[in-house]
């Protein structure tokens, strides 16, 4: 009895102590209960958008949904409306067609959750990244227990467009001392460079709830609103960038080069108007990327004869240049111990002037100017004044500077015509701004401004920055005249780069490619063919650099066949871009380019619109068989370039034939008709799930498969081989 009484008193005393103090083993019961009852959720901040200079959206967070199912019956206890999956078979049957999945797979997931006594189950890949339209369709079925969680994904509406500039962002797992969470993080390009500004700060909501996750009557709710990321406006112009992308794709299809790079710049400001590389990739699906590097800023190479404009500029500025002075072309050797150098045709053109030597792209003239006229040390000073010994500082990640190889006499000579020493395309463009801009060299940049999306206040505005003045205005003018002679004179090797409406000054380059086994690769295709040009030549408004590495030239002939793919890119882009920017032609009003401005189509007939488009030479596709125009794929007042496809949505829409369309055009169509699009691959459409002519409604599912030009070429080769084998087999059968 004594023991029982003592035990009773101890237990009772313990209860009284706990009740009075509210503490058990140093843990406050009130705090513990509050912690157990309190649940908290992150309110995702919206990652900042990326725009072009004119406000066209290039990257944004697209809301998608992850689906899950509650399979625990306890969630429906004492409730009239069931909160769990009541009939798994019916649920699977109704979900399967909307998710484009097998009924048995969905049913298997539901049953496994029920058998394992789980509270809820998810559905793997088919239950993720569900569009708003599909989510609404599923919710309309009112299936008990089917729930959704919103999850944003980073979306790039133009597909393979300025991919090495914009880069891409993806969901990554982040760990802190308090928790593990997921957030969208930039991996490459602007997405990586500006990640801290773009990502924003997540908010949080917390409240007290019961065991079934229902709020208490007094939930003590606390809400901390998210701080959305800032918006980044780039200097690129979507129209000109699109023009560059499309023209480069055409060259890729025809010439199948190893690599290509193109940069369009405003030489007055340093703004990058367009920049693209091949191979490229679709940032919406960056799997199997062939080239992560932005070659325009990250891949130094021996630039070839484009460097001669700086050699001549240095000679003129150092007061040793006489353009009328003659020299013997063909071969030049400074001593018996140093290998001779030759002009590209080996034999030269006899005795010619230095001015003519520039137009003919003479290596001997460049070597003489460096070795005999100004001296190698003076030339090195000018190379450094043009900043060839340092990166440009462009606001993109991954810039790698070239190297001035200047140790031995031969290296000093070969540097004069772009061999041995290396540079990146952006270094060459930066240096050339001094020639285009009357001696003032500008820093290239690609971020125009940063804007707070909540207030629309400009946080940071990029202004042009002069970073050097390596030559005088007079020297710049004289070099521009030489650049014009290299394109327009009777001796010009760059005659392919003449434009119809604008005078062009520029310099070609044919750079040798180092052989991994020593020396240089041989063969007429094993070069990097390039051109740097500016127009109009007397007061350049645009400057463009193009390089094409190892194109297939078996069907090209004539002088410098390697310039054919380069000139195709340069001529198409520059002619169209200058007209688009309303730059007055300096060869007279001979405009051969029609820039069509979108009119107001409200209440107009399809026939009247197509008639005006045909007269303007615009590429268009009519969507449907209706007689009235409902919508155009471009807004009123926008300018359409000849390479763009304009979509006309009628009041009776049907599915067009989209085989051969670019992803960008398919996405335009999808936006107009609110299609639920599933994309496989990248490049150009080869299959479509909706047949041509079939009536379509908003929200219709469209599956497409795309192939790159290289993949199409390989398919064509396989088909041709198969056909050849079939013919040979047939011949053998006949012979037997």
In this structure, what are the phi and psi dihedrals at residue 402, rounded to the nearest 5 degrees? -80, -175
Distance of alpha carbon 512 from alpha carbon 523, whole angstroms = 10
Query: 3-class SS at 356?
Result: helix
Query: Exposed, middle or buried: residue 684 (CB in 10 Å: 0-12, 13-18, 19+)?
Result: buried
CA 241, distance to chain mean position in Å, is: 9
- Measured CA to CA, the distance from residue 472 to residue 460 in angstroms comes to 32
Q: Which residue has the tokens 């020639």?
A: 435
548 in Cβ contact with 529 (< 8 Å): yes
How many Cα atoms are found within 13 Å in the side-chain-facing hemisphere of 208? 13
d(CA 179, CA 41): 12
Calculate ∠ Cα 637-642-648, nearest 5°. 60
Q: Is residue 318 flagged as an active site residue?
A: no
Point out the catalytic residue in the list 131, 298, 305, 495. 305
DSSP label at 491? T
The helix-helix angle for 308-317 and 376-385 (nearest 10°) equals: 110
The string of DSSP codes covering 16-31 is: HHHHHH-EETTEEHHH
Long-range own/partner contacts, residues 485-491 (CB < 8 A, 24 or more apart):
485/355, 485/358, 485/359, 486/358, 486/359, 486/361, 487/533, 489/359, 491/356, 491/359, 491/360
* Six token digits for residue 607: 């026939």
For the annotated catalytic residues, the residue numbers are 305
């Amino acid at each position: 009895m004594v023991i029982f009484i003592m035990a009773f008193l101890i237990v009772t005393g313990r209860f009284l102590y706990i009740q009075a103090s509210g503490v058990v083993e140093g843990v406050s019961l009130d705090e513990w209960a509050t912690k157990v009852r309190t649940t908290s959720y992150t309110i995702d901040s919206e990652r900042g958008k990326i725009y072009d200079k004119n406000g066209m959206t290039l990257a944004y967070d697209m809301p998608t949904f992850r689906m899950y199912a509650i399979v625990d019956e306890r969630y429906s206890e004492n409730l009239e409306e069931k909160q769990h999956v009541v009939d798994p078979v019916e649920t699977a049957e109704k979900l399967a067609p909307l998710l484009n999945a097998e009924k048995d797979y969905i049913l298997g997931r539901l049953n496994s959750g029920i058998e394992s006594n789980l509270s809820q189950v998810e559905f793997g890949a088919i239950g993720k990244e569900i569009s708003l339209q599909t989510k609404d369709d599923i919710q309309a079925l009112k299936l008990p227990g089917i729930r959704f969680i919103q999850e944003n994904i980073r979306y790039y509406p133009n597909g393979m467009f300025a991919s090495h500039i914009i880069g891409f962002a993806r969901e990554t797992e982040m760990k802190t001392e308090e928790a593990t969470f997921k957030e969208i993080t930039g991996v490459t390009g602007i997405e990586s460079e500006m990640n801290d500004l773009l990502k924003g700060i997540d908010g949080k909501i917390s409240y007290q709830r019961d065991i079934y996750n229902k709020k208490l009557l007094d939930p003590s709710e606390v809400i901390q609103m998210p701080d959305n990321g800032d918006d980044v406006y780039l200097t690129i112009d979507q129209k000109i960038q699109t023009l560059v992308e499309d023209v480069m794709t055409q060259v890729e299809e025809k010439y199948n080069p190893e690599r290509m790079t193109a940069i369009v710049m405003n030489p007055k400001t340093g703004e990058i108007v367009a920049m693209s590389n091949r191979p490229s990739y679709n940032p919406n699906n960056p799997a199997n990327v062939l080239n992560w590097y932005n070659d325009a800023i990250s891949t130094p190479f021996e630039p070839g004869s484009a460097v001669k404009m700086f050699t001549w500029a240095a000679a003129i500025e150092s007061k040793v240049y006489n353009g009328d002075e003659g020299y013997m072309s063909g071969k030049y050797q400074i001593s018996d111990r140093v290998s001779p150098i030759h002009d590209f045709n080996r034999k030269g053109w006899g005795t010619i002037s230095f001015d003519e030597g520039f137009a003919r792209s003479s290596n001997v003239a460049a070597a003489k100017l460096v070795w005999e006229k100004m001296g190698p040390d003076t030339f090195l000073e000018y190379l450094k004044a043009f900043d060839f010994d340092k990166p440009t500082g462009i606001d993109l990640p991954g810039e790698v500077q070239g190297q001035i190889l200047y140790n031995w006499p031969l290296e000093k000579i070969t540097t004069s015509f772009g061999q041995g020493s290396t540079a990146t395309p952006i270094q060459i463009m930066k240096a050339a701004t001094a020639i285009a801009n009357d001696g003032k060299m500008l820093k290239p940049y690609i971020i125009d401004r940063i804007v707070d999306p909540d207030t629309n206040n400009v946080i940071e505005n990029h202004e042009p920055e002069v970073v050097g003045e390596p030559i005088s205005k007079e020297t710049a003018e004289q070099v521009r005249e030489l650049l014009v002679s290299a394109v327009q004179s009777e001796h010009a090797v760059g005659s392919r780069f003449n434009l119809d409406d604008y005078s062009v000054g520029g310099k070609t380059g044919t750079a040798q490619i180092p052989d991994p086994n020593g020396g240089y690769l041989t063969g007429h295709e094993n070069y990097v063919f390039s051109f740097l040009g500016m127009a109009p030549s007397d007061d350049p408004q645009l400057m463009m650099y193009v390089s094409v590495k190892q194109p297939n030239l078996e069907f090209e002939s004539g002088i410098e066949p390697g310039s054919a793919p380069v000139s195709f890119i340069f001529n198409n882009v520059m002619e169209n871009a200058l007209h688009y920017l309303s730059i007055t032609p300096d060869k007279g009003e001979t405009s051969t380019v029609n820039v069509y401005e979108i009119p107001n189509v409200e209440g107009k007939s399809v026939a009247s619109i197509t008639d005006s488009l045909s007269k303007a030479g615009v590429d268009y596709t009519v969507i449907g068989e209706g007689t009235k125009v409902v919508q155009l794929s471009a807004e009123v007042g926008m300018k359409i370039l000849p390479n763009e496809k304009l979509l006309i949505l009628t009041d009776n829409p049907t599915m067009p034939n989209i085989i051969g369309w670019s992803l960008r055009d398919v996405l335009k169509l999808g936006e107009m008709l609110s299609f639920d699009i599933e994309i496989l691959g990248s490049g150009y459409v080869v299959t479509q799930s909706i047949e041509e002519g079939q009536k379509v409604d908003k929200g219709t599912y469209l599956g497409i498969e795309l192939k790159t030009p290289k993949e199409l070429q390989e398919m064509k080769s396989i088909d041709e081989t198969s056909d050849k084998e079939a013919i040979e087999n047939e011949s053998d059968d006949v012979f037997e």
